[in-house]
A and B are shown apart, each in its own frame.
Chain A
Amino acid sequence: MVKKWEEMTAEEKQDAQFQKLLIPKDHEGNNLKFQSPEAEANYKAAITRLKDAIQLRKTPDRVPVTIFPGMYPFIYSGMNLHEAMYDYDRCVAGFKKFVLDFKPDVHFGAAAPGPGKFYEILDYKLYVWPGHGVSPQSIYQCIEGEYMGAEEYDLLITDPSFYFRNFYLPRVFGALIPWSMLPPLTGILEMYGVAFSFIPYGLPPVQSAYKALFEAGAEALKWAMAVGGVDIELATMGFPQILGGFTKAPFDTLGDTLRGTKGIMVDMYRRPDKLLEALDKITPIMINMGLGAAKQTGKPFIFMPLHKGADGFLSDNQFKTFYWPHLKKVILGLIEGGCIPFPAAEGSFNTRLEYLKELPKGKTVWMFDQTDLAKVKALLGDTICIFGNVPSVMLQLGTPQQVKDYCKKLIDDVGQGGGFIMANGAFFDEAKPENVKAMVDFTKEYGVYK
């Protein structure tokens, strides 16, 4: 008898998720028609290879290889990034060319540039983007700031959704400023007085905010159709897109776009208790964010870009007080829900590796950049799957021979016995195509397990 989802162990859920990935669906939910038997074989081999590398139960047929770029696919395909953000068809066509030219085992989709017009409709103030604060050749970048005040912790802790809608979002989206006029939803209780809660929705500024919202939604949908369409098309050609969604370490959630880097760092000294309380509050929200995305997309890989936990950004004491406990809870919560957490340890994580030993075996993939992977393998080879770490600088400035030598060393040192996925270490926008090609082709040739 087939067990119900809720009755399954985390292990069984993960197996079921991989099983689901092996039988991809089309738009209508029917089994996907592959363009050729070869495409189908490649698709399934890629998923199986990935599964073996992650679960650490058996050695894969060879080292899986993929590319997890920033804006490289679009620059490679000859467009500037303004075009990649505003012309969805061109964006996905460029991405398709990138996948078909380099042939990574799996890919991560064309969503990175995002829909330029959507940001304009909502008057997004948190970022500059090509042609909108930076040159069309540059990429979108976050404007650091304290978008949440130091005195607002209690507001956030009491009701995060209310805080987001009425305070945070109106600050980062110009079009949503009228949201600050809305009453809390939790005031809607009984016949008497219920209408009061709806009066603000009759006010012209609020109505225009919702008008912008509908327009933005339609634009996002248009973009999503293009981005989702190319995923399916590439799947029929044998290239699975595996990303199911993303979530964050609670410390980064608060520190990246709410309190800002300076804000949260000072909070550790001035208001540590409030900070911890807020982190506790955000933790289940971050778990549900990942689980919800996986459910919506049907894909279990939940990406987690880790920022402020890197070496040097926190002392060991700060890391184990403010960063790791909540990050660990999010990771375990995702695993419990059948997801595969996919954290990216940006910068380096050499001083944090001991903590990763606390994670269950065969349940996570860790992208590393400047971390010493031989050390990771020795310490964590039987716990996590290691993903990385061909350096951005080498991809951009090095030679194919340098890339091959680097990959050879990785396969020899880190690939041993499985548990390793060859990839770049950090998101890159610029690279020499021959270097990217060398990484993929050499791994396919030299990375075969005997």
Chain B
Amino acid sequence: MTTDLVKTLADLKEKEVIKIVESRLSAGEDPFKILDDARSGVEIVGKRFAEGDYFIPDLIYAGEILKIITDMIKPNLMKKVEVKRLGKVIMGTVAGDIHDIGKNIVVFMLDVNGFEVLDLGIDVPAQKFVDTIKETGSKIVGMSGFLTLAFQSMKDTVEAIKKAGLRDEVKIMIGGGQIDEEVRIFSGADAYGKDAMEAVKLAKGWIGG
């Protein structure tokens, strides 16, 4: 059995991952170190996805394995984890649209890659995005949408942000099944990404990392 958590998780070997975590915990190892390794493993999953070696099921499965590890480690944590974050990203599926598979994958990959993600959920009104920018000072907003009617909601949301005088404070990225450069121009967003790793790349480009 391999003892390398990073590699074993990157290879999506769930049962072996659990064994490694169990033995490291019972050896009294610092749980933060284990969590760090787990995150590094999932980062490799993301890289493999970006390179075309992994696909959506691999990302989802990696997320499930990470959840199990977190649940195993939780009882061993004396205090809440204070992970150093690259910055805050607001995410949500725009008004009128409840599709969230794509959005959830983006949230997961941003989180694993060191961002603090404020997930507003689905069918999010423009004002909610505006309020959250004000409350949190987040510098990045990600909008997701699957339906053709989402194009208009994205545009409305960008307008609302502009009206609130916050347009220059934030970078806005959009994504979803039909989203392309034409929709980006229509909506007034700064960029669009075709998948979760592009969202990570955009976010890192905007606020360092």
Contact = CB atoms under 8 A, between A and B. Distances in A.
Interface of A: 70, 128, 133-135, 137-139, 141, 143-144, 261-262, 265-266, 268-270, 312-315, 318, 347, 391-394, 396-398, 426, 428-431
A137 B96 contact: yes
27 contacts: A70-B148, A135-B95, A137-B96, A138-B97, A139-B149, A143-B98, A144-B101, A262-B101, A265-B56, A265-B57, A265-B60, A268-B57, A313-B55, A315-B54, A347-B177, A391-B178, A392-B148, A393-B148, A393-B178, A393-B180, A396-B148, A397-B182, A397-B186, A428-B148, A429-B148, A430-B149, A431-B148
A266 B97 CA distance: 25
Nearest to A319: B55
8 pairs of A and B residues whose beta carbons are closest in the complex = A265-B57, A138-B96, A315-B55, A265-B60, A430-B148, A141-B98, A428-B148, A429-B148
Contacts of B55: 312-315, 318
B90 to A, nearest CB: 21
Contacts of A143: 98
A394 B148 CA distance: 11
Interface in B11-56: 12, 14, 54-56
A127 to B, nearest CB: 10
B162 interface: no
A267 to B, nearest CB: 10
Given A266-B61, A269-B14, A315-B55, A429 B149 contact: yes
B178 A134 contact: no
B148 A266 contact: no
B69 interface: no
Contact of B56 (A312, A391, A429): A312
A314 B96 contact: no
Nearest to A75: B149
Interface of B: 12, 14, 54-58, 60-61, 64, 95-101, 123, 147-149, 151-152, 177-178, 180, 182-183, 186, 195
Nearest to A135: B96
A313 B99 contact: no
Nearest to A347: B177
A265 B58 CA distance: 8
A143 B98 CA distance: 8
Contacts of B186: 397
Taking each of B56, B97, B180, which has the highest tally of chain A beta carbons within 10 Å of its own beta carbon?
Answer: B56
B69 to A, nearest CB: 15
Contact of A392 (B60, B178, B195): B178
Nearest to A402: B182
A367 B89 CA distance: 37
A347 B102 CA distance: 13
A270 B14 contact: yes
A314 B56 CA distance: 7
Given A393-B178, A428-B148, 6 more contacts: A128-B98, A134-B96, A144-B101, A265-B60, A393-B151, A429-B147
B60 A266 contact: yes
Contact of A144 (B61, B100, B178): B100
Nearest to A318: B57
B198 to A, nearest CB: 12
Contacts of B95: 135
A269 B15 CA distance: 11
A135 to B, nearest CB: 6
Contacts of A134: 96, 98, 123
Contacts of A431: 148
Contacts of B100: 144
Contact of A141 (B58, B61, B99, B195): B99
B183 A397 contact: yes
B201 to A, nearest CB: 17
B42 to A, nearest CB: 15
B151 A396 contact: yes
Nearest to B64: A266
B99 to A, nearest CB: 7
B147 A139 contact: yes
A139 B153 CA distance: 14
A394 B185 CA distance: 13
Contacts of B12: 269
Contacts of A266: 57, 60-61, 64
A149 to B, nearest CB: 15
A128 B58 CA distance: 29
A444 to B, nearest CB: 25
B57 A398 contact: no
Contacts of A137: 96, 149
A347 to B, nearest CB: 7
A318 B195 CA distance: 20
B182 A398 contact: yes
A393 B146 CA distance: 12
A141 B97 contact: yes
B19 to A, nearest CB: 16
Nearest to A130: B96
Contacts of A138: 96-97, 147, 149
